[in-house]
């Protein structure tokens, strides 16, 4: 068993999950404080104070009539961190551990991420505290619609634009669009109030793969700078949902081999490399990895993280790479698909061990870049095709990667701190301009 950083800093499914979430706001605050202390960052004093807490923390308790005839009360959150650069923007999560501090942290990261990518959005995040796996599709439809109705006063295509996150998908965004529009009083359907929608609901054709594509672009840029030929390289992946599965399928086309993968049900390994397309079919059908191979070839979570490989991609929950995990990782680079997967103590260990980290604020920002295009298209009553979207995404990711990388090398700071520097400076300059 890996030793704990703190009682709450390890993953034993469910029992410590809530405790782990209590650390998340501390994690972003420690990153923020570290960034504020960087030599030469020179920020406007007022912006430091403004960013230290979210603007709005909204909690709604809303009733939903379920298929079995009973009525249940659900607790939903929407945190609006900052809208200096544009409307609040960020995902909606369906998970049994959704928690106010978690939403506050995730909303803050969205402020940083949008600023880093120079997208005219601020930061928001929300969710409903329940396990979507316990409910039928019909119940999920009603829960989604009622949540959007409960939130309608606080959101809108020029106010706050939610998107999918863990436990939600394009279908859920579509239902929320219809729920919102049924009470908003708009004369025509406002599609721009949510992104990550299906094509039939004015979504963008490349949105579901965008976060994975952004991750893969970062890996390619990292490889270029380190003179690494990616063909034949190995990686392990935690999480095989939207982000994880798209990342895996794109990495396959570059010739990388997935030798370990895990989700909430199991961890499995295959030194010869998994067939990622078969894995994807299995998870689409069964909603988890369990049963893909016989239980005898399963590995433990600890064995998974000890796997010798070139790249590790956490693409599930936050706080997965703790100090004790960081000590045993056997890779060259960690690419943060998930938000906040690495604790502060783990970050320090990885730095000491010369394992580079491509941080969440950069690595998983492809989703919000394409969400921006989707929103823009909705506003202009047009569509952007796959080719245009992907080339726009690629250019933005490569340019930002270069800026972050150059700042990191010139100042001998981590990629994470370089990302914060660029994002905070943009926010600070904007604040000065308008005041």
List, by residue number, the catalytic residues. Answer: 125
Does position 211 interact with ligand NAD (CB under 6 A)? The reply is yes
Q: Which of residues 139-178 bind ligand NAD (CB under 6 A)?
A: 164-167
- The phi-psi region of residue 255 (left if phi > 0; otherwise alpha if psi is between -120 and 50; otherwise beta) is left
Does position 316 interact with ligand NAD (CB under 6 A)? The reply is yes
CB nearer to ligand NAD: give 148 or 243: 243
Q: Which stretch binds ligand NAD (CB under 6 A): 315-323, 350-358, 379-387, 422-430?
A: 315-323
Sheet holding 88-95, edge to edge: 56-65, 71-82, 123-129, 88-95, 160-164
CB nearer to ligand NAD: give 165 or 347: 165
Site string for ligand NAD, 265-304 (x = CB under 6 A): -----------------------x----------------
Q: How far is the CB of 55 from ligand NAD (least distance, A)?
A: 21
Rounded to whole angstroms, the Cα distance separating 373 from 276 reads 29
Q: How far is the CB of 341 from ligand NAD (least distance, A)?
A: 7
- Contact present, 368 and 117 (Cβ < 8 Å): yes
Does position 134 interact with ligand NAD (CB under 6 A)? The reply is no
Q: How far is the CB of 9 from ligand NAD (least distance, A)?
A: 14
Q: Which stretch binds ligand NAD (CB under 6 A): 154-162, 310-318, 391-399, 407-415?
A: 310-318
Q: Which residues pair with 126 in a beta bridge?
A: 78, 92
Rounded to whole angstroms, the Cα distance separating 100 from 269 reads 35
Q: Determine the 3-state secondary structure of 418 from DSSP.
A: helix
Among 202, 263, 298, 347, indicate the residue that binds ligand NAD (CB under 6 A).
263
CB nearer to ligand NAD: give 170 or 405: 170
User: Which ranges of 205-363 does DSSP label H, i.e. alpha helix?
Assistant: 207-225, 242-253, 276-286, 301-306, 323-328, 344-352, 360-363
Does position 240 interact with ligand NAD (CB under 6 A)? The reply is yes
Among 76, 124, 127, 262, indicate the residue that binds ligand NAD (CB under 6 A).
262
- Contact present, 247 and 224 (Cβ < 8 Å): no
Residue 95 backbone phi and psi in degrees, to 5? -160, 150
Among 13, 42, 295, 296, indicate the residue that binds ligand NAD (CB under 6 A).
13
Residue 163 backbone phi and psi in degrees, to 5? -150, 175
Among 127, 131, 128, smallest CA distance to 14 is for: 131
Among 154, 167, 162, smallest CA distance to 192 is for: 162
Residue that has been written with the tokens 């939130």 in this structure:
151
Does position 203 interact with ligand NAD (CB under 6 A)? The reply is no
- Pairing of the two strands 267-269 and 298-299: antiparallel
Among 170, 257, 364, 414, indicate the residue that binds ligand NAD (CB under 6 A).
364
Q: How far is the CB of 162 from ligand NAD (least distance, A)?
A: 12
Q: Which stretch binds ligand NAD (CB under 6 A): 41-49, 198-206, 261-269, 414-422?
A: 261-269
Q: Which stretch binds ligand NAD (CB under 6 A): 54-62, 215-223, 241-249, 392-400?
A: 241-249
Which structure tokens are listed for 39?
Answer: 């030599």
Q: How far is the CB of 46 from ligand NAD (least distance, A)?
A: 29
Does position 338 interact with ligand NAD (CB under 6 A)? The reply is yes
CB nearer to ligand NAD: give 149 or 416: 416
**Buried residues in 403-422 as b, exposed as e (16+ CB within 10 A):** bbbebbeeeebbbbbbbbbb
Does position 373 interact with ligand NAD (CB under 6 A)? The reply is no
Q: Which stretch binds ligand NAD (CB under 6 A): 23-31, 232-240, 344-352, 373-381?
A: 232-240
Does position 390 interact with ligand NAD (CB under 6 A)? The reply is no
The H or E element containing residue 67 is: none
Rounded to whole angstroms, the Cα distance separating 13 from 288 reads 15
Q: What is the DSSP string of 106-139?
A: HHHHHHHHHHHTT-S--EEEEEEES-GGGS-HHH
Does position 264 interact with ligand NAD (CB under 6 A)? The reply is yes
Residues at the interface with ligand NAD (CB under 6 A): 13, 164-167, 211, 238-244, 262-264, 288, 315-317, 337-339, 364, 367
């Amino acid at each position: 068993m890996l030793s704990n950083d703190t009682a709450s800093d390890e993953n034993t499914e469910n029992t410590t999950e809530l405790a782990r979430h209590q650390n998340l706001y501390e994690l972003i605050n420690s990153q923020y404080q570290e960034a504020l202390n960087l030599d030469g960052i020179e920020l406007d004093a007022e912006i430091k104070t403004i960013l230290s807490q979210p603007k709005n923390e909204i909690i709604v308790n809303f009733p939903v009539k379920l298929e079995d005839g009973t009525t249940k009360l659900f607790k939903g959150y929407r945190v609006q961190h900052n809208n200096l650069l544009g409307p609040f923007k960020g995902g909606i999560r369906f998970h049994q551990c959704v928690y106010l501090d978690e939403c506050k942290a995730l909303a803050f990261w969205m402020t940083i991420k949008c600023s880093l990518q120079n997208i005219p959005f601020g930061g928001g995040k929300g969710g409903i505290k329940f396990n979507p796996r316990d409910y039928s599709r019909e119940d999920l439809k009603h829960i989604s619609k009622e949540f959007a109705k409960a939130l309608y006063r606080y959101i809108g295509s020029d106010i706050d634009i939610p998107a999918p996150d863990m436990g939600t998908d394009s279908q859920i965004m579509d239902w929320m669009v219809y729920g919102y529009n049924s009470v908003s009083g708009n004369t025509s359907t406002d599609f721009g109030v949510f992104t990550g929608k299906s094509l039939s609901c004015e979504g963008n054709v490349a949105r579901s793969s965008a976060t994975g594509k952004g991750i893969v672009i970062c890996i390619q840029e990292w490889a270029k700078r380190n003179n690494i030929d990616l063909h034949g390289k190995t990686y392990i992946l935690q999480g095989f949902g939207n982000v994880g599965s798209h990342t895996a399928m794109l990495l396959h086309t570059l010739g990388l081999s997935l030798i370990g993968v895990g989700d909430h049900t199991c961890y499995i390994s295959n030194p010869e490399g998994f067939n990622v397309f078969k894995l994807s079919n299995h998870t689409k059908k069964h909603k988890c990895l369990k049963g893909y191979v016989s239980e005898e070839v399963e590995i433990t979570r600890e064995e998974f993280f000890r796997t010798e490989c070139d790249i590790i991609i956490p693409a599930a929950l936050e706080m997965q790479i703790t100090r004790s995990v960081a000590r045993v990782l056997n890779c060259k680079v960690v690419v943060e698909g998930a938000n906040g997967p690495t604790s502060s103590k783990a970050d320090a260990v990885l730095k000491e061990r010369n394992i580079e980290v491509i941080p969440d604020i950069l690595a998983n920002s492809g989703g919000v870049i394409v969400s921006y295009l989707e929103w823009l298209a909705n506003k202009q009553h047009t569509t952007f095709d796959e080719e245009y979207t992907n080339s726009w995404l690629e250019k933005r990711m490569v340019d930002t990667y270069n800026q972050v990388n150059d700042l990191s090398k010139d100042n001998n700071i981590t990629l994470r701190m370089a990302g914060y520097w660029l994002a905070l400076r943009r926010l600070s300059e904007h604040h000065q301009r308008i005041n």
